[in-house]
């Protein structure tokens, strides 16, 4: 395409174009167009103008023609363009949203993007955009479990009251045990190790670890089986009292209670939040409780272990220390757990409960299915 337009720039237009080029706040595309027109006014060839501005020759011709047609104002606005594809009609998008909330055909349990695209005659990306606009995520599933405990509301108010407004001069502890801890969750005996070393984290690649593992012999591991972490979280200051033991029977639990008894100042009453594990209600444990008058047990409702604050700590230690750990023996595992406890207690943070019992009960009332039908 040859240059067929002779660009004539008046003094007023030249002054305005130079002001555009000198304005540092102007968009880059406006500055480029003004430079093209100013260079064209000097009667230079299109090839030299394109090289000087850093654009192609068709771009030079386009803005020469636009200036000749609309002047300086034509350089500052883009022409409207027809969309490349016709927008999806609103009624079609509404039908797709309604269809997403129904059961898919055949034997599928939920809609996939490609299945919906085929059913509606749309592209996969169009389906994804509509789902995103309406906050639809068919691939996700959230599970729930509502407690059937007839005294749920009473126990909930009791435990939340301890978290939000603890008794004066008392210590509120959240107790539980994390049983059968080992480097891999499916193992029952022995100590485990990966079949080969993984690769460390680096830019563009996540840390790697082999999926399979090898088991050391019990003689080599120095200790067989798994370990159990008994822990008590102090709600007021966030410190954790922890002990690793081989088993999690009532006798180990009583040993842990004695350790907590020695760690807490003698003048302070102790309120302990526990779940309904049978070990916590063993006759010998209840006899121990009768001999220690400053202790009060508060049991969570059935199927409501989320009320036990220590579960948050167990989740944290699992994610940060245990799950990716490689331990050649049970002793190594227990050493790592004790080191994590010491590091946590060096800089503890108080546990803060934010929801009131009334807010939790109001949320449970929004569940459409009654607890008898669950």
Question: In this predicted structure, what is the pLDDT of residue 134?
Answer: 95
Other beta carbons less than 10 A from residue 21's beta carbon: 15
* Burial class (CB within 10 angstroms; exposed 0-12, middle 13-18, buried 19+) of 202: exposed
- The structure tokens 């349990």 sit at 109
Question: In this structure, what token pair is assigned to residue 84?
Answer: 């490349």
Would you say residue 221 has pLDDT above 60?
no
Nearest to 243 by CA among 346, 343, 349, 341: 341
DSSP state of 168: T
Question: In this predicted structure, what is the pLDDT of residue 222?
Answer: 46
Nearest to 137 by CA among 145, 151, 127: 127
Can you tell me the distance from the alpha carbon of 241 to that of 235, in angstroms, rounded to the nearest whole number?
12
Can you tell me the distance from the alpha carbon of 148 to that of 348, in angstroms, rounded to the nearest whole number?
35
Would you say residue 232 has pLDDT above 90?
yes
Query: Mean pLDDT over residues 208-221, rounded?
Result: 64
Question: In this predicted structure, what is the pLDDT of residue 327?
Answer: 80
Can you tell me the distance from the alpha carbon of 88 to that of 99, in angstroms, rounded to the nearest whole number?
16
DSSP for 36-86? Answer: HHHHHHTT--HHHHHHHHTS-HHHHHHHHHHHHHHHHHHHTSPPP---SSP
Cα-based distances in Å from 229 to 297, 321, 329: 20, 13, 16
HSE on the CB side for 115, CA within 13 Å? 14
Would you say residue 124 has pLDDT above 90?
yes
The percentage of residues in the chain with a pLDDT greater than 70, rounded to a whole number, is 90
Which residue stretches of the chain are H helix? 11-22, 28-41, 46-53, 57-75, 90-100, 113-120, 124-133, 152-164, 218-221, 250-263, 283-291, 310-317, 330-346, 357-365
pLDDT digits (tens, 9 = 90+) for 305-330: 899 999 999 999 999 998 888 787 88
Can you tell me the distance from the alpha carbon of 60 to that of 330, in angstroms, rounded to the nearest whole number?
75
- The structure tokens 């909930």 sit at 156
Cα-based distances in Å from 45 to 21, 35, 52, 126: 21, 14, 11, 46
Nearest to 38 by CA among 69, 17, 67, 10: 17
pLDDT tier, 370 (very low <50, low <70, confident <90, very high otherwise): low
Q: Please tell me which residue, 310 or 75, carries the higher pLDDT value.
A: 310
User: For residues 236 and 350, is the Cβ–Cβ distance under 8 A?
Assistant: yes
Q: Please tell me which residue, 369 or 190, carries the higher pLDDT value.
A: 369
Can you tell me the distance from the alpha carbon of 363 to that of 306, in angstroms, rounded to the nearest whole number?
15
Q: Please tell me which residue, 80 or 338, carries the higher pLDDT value.
A: 338
Grouping H, G, I as helix, E, B as strand and the rest as coil, residue 157 is helix
Phi-psi region of 121 (alpha: psi -120 to 50; beta: other; left: phi over 0): left
Question: In this predicted structure, what is the pLDDT of residue 225?
Answer: 62
Nearest to 327 by CA among 194, 224, 180: 194
């Amino acid at each position: 395409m040859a240059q067929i337009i002779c660009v004539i720039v008046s003094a007023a237009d030249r002054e305005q174009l130079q002001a555009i080029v000198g304005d540092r706040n102007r968009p880059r595309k406006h500055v480029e167009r003004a430079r093209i027109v100013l260079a064209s006014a000097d009667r230079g060839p299109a090839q030299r103008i394109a090289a000087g501005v850093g654009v192609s020759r068709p771009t030079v011709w386009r803005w020469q023609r636009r200036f000749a047609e609309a002047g300086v104002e034509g350089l500052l606005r883009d022409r409207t363009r027809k969309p490349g594809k016709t927008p999806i009609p609103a009624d079609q998008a509404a039908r797709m949203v309604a269809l997403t909330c129904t059961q898919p055909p055949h034997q599928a349990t939920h809609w996939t993007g490609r299945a919906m695209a085929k059913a509606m005659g749309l592209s996969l990306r169009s389906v994804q955009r509509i789902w995103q606009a309406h906050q639809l995520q068919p691939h996700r599933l959230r599970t729930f479990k509502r407690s059937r405990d007839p005294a749920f509301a009473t126990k909930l108010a009791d435990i939340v009251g301890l978290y939000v407004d603890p008794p004066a001069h008392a210590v509120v502890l959240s107790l539980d045990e994390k049983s059968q801890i080992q480097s891999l969750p499916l193992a029952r005996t022995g100590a485990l190790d990966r079949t080969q070393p993984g690769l460390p984290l680096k830019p563009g690649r996540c840390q790697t670890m082999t999926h399979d593992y090898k088991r050391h012999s019990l003689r080599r591991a120095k200790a067989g089986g798994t370990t159990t972490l008994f822990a008590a979280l102090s709600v007021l200051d966030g410190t954790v009292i922890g002990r690793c033991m081989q088993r999690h029977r009532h006798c180990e639990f009583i040993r842990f209670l004695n350790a907590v008894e020695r760690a807490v100042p003698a003048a302070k009453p102790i309120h302990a939040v526990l779940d309904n594990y049978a070990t916590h209600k063993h006759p010998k444990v209840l006899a121990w409780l009768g001999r220690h008058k400053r202790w009060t047990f508060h049991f969570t409702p059935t199927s409501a272990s989320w009320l036990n604050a220590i579960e948050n700590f167990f989740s944290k230690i699992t994610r940060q220390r245990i799950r990716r750990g490689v331990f050649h023996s049970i002793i190594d595992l227990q050493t790592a757990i004790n080191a994590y406890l010491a590091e946590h207690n060096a800089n503890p943070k108080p546990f803060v409960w934010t929801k009131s019992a009334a807010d939790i009960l109001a949320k449970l009332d929004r569940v459409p299915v009654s607890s008898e039908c669950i």
